[in-house]
Amino acid sequence: MSKVSPKSSDWSIGSGLPLAVIAGCNVLESLEESLTIGRELKSICADLGLPYVFKASFDKANRSSIRSFRGPGLEKGLEMLTAIKAELNVPICTDVHEVEQALPVASVAEIIQVPAFLCRQTDLVTTMAEAAKTTGSVLHVKKAQFLAPWDSKNVISKIRETYDADAIIMCERGVSFGYNNLIVDPLAIPEMQKLDVPVTIDATHAVQLPGADPRTGGASTGGRRDGVAIVAKSAVAAGADGVFLEFHTAPDAALCDAPSCLPISEARPLLTKLKAFRDIVNG
């Protein structure tokens, strides 16, 4: 399996390497909140010897309700991510929803993320690949909830035909299982790795209950926070090369996907266990 690393960073992910960490906030709520979470995660990963990327979204375009909080938007969001990058001296990961966002985002973020529901949108995916090629960024592709793991080959092919480099990371984040539910099949991880790409686990979104938040009568997504660690450990034991996790200083008050994000106080014990699992897998 190929090693993937942005050209402007020594962060890397791949077979036999330390567990890669893409973690931060679900959405940019404030610069202070983001920096608090980023500083703690950077410190933990440095102590554990894990390569770290800060993640946060500037716009949550896929919302259950038009009234849901979406974030600061592209211009303000990229300003905040640039400030976080400068303050913490870490690579950045954020997602793109529209073709016009691709190059501005790739100019700031070392990892540009393809949202799960959009991973089959050819124009978006190829434009993101072109932007990443221009800046030396890499793509983190969330596998859609409706795709079999082996069908990721079509998404990967679109990117490779546009960007002829080892610049793709696939992400498992669960598959739709009936109404308002997702499940994670650990066998999906080695299946996607057969396509010669590193694979991460998005343990945060894998525990979502789409459209099933009792607090809003279905106007937002529910979740099972207690399941995040279970999914993450299972996936790393199955060979996942990296983890994608979202934290908050007060999860129940988070403005987006509150039922799924973890308190930042749980980051160190969880990442410590995940490192131990990865060390065992690496032999």
Catalytic residue among 26, 42, 143, 233: 26
With 0-12 / 13-18 / 19 or more C-beta atoms within 10 angstroms meaning exposed / middle / buried, residue 55 is: buried
Q: Point out the catalytic residue in the list 59, 213, 241, 257.
A: 257
Stated as kind and residue range, the H or E segment containing 95 is strand 92-95
SS3 content of the chain, % helix, strand, coil (to 5): 40, 20, 40
The residues pairing with 176 across neighbouring beta strands, listed in sequence order, are: 182
C-alpha 191/C-alpha 258 separation (Å) is 31
Q: How far is CA 143 from the centre of its chain?
A: 11
Which of 55, 60, 142, 158 is labelled catalytic?
60
Between the CA of residue 20 and those of 42, 173, 190, 212, what are the distances in Å? 12, 16, 17, 31
- Residue 190, phi then psi, degrees to nearest 5: -65, -25
Residues 6+ apart with CB under 8 A from 148: none
Q: Is 153 a catalytic residue?
A: no
| Whether residue 257 lies in the annotated active site | yes
Kindly report the backbone phi and psi dihedral angles of residue 196, in degrees, each rounded to the nearest multiple of 5, phi listed first.
65, 45
Structure tokens at 3: 């090693």
Give the single-character DSSP code of 178: S
d(C-alpha 21, C-alpha 33), whole Å: 19
252 is catalytic: no
Q: Cα separation of 273 and 277, whole Å? A: 6
Residue 249 tokens read as: 């200083």
Residue 160 backbone dihedrals phi, psi, to 5 degrees: -65, -30
Catalytic residues: 26, 60, 257
